[in-house]
Amino acid sequence: MSSDGAKAFIARWAAASASERANSQPFLCELCNMLGVATPEPTRETGYAFEYDVIEHHPDGSITKGRIDLYQRGWPGEPNSSLNP
């Protein structure tokens, strides 16, 4: 990743509107490209894709439904990840 590339990326996205839903996928794809990593796949079965549904369990027994903008199976922080300490 070049310094100029990072600066251009930051400048481009600093001027973006605040619409997360409209901008999240283009932002994340450009970030992946800038970092030189693969972009998400169009199918969820690969384990690396946009828009994963999640359920958050709270201590009081209630649940909240949400979503993860970008998910990759096996990353640290995933409950069953072998990468967790």
Q: What is the pLDDT of residues 34-71, one digit of tens each?
A: 988 899 988 888 888 898 888 899 999 999 998 888 88
Residue 76: what pLDDT?
63
First to last CA, the chain: 29
Structure confidence at residue 9 (pLDDT): 92
pTM comes to 0.70
Dihedral angle sign, alpha carbons of residues 20, 81, 43, 66: negative
pLDDT at res. 77: 61
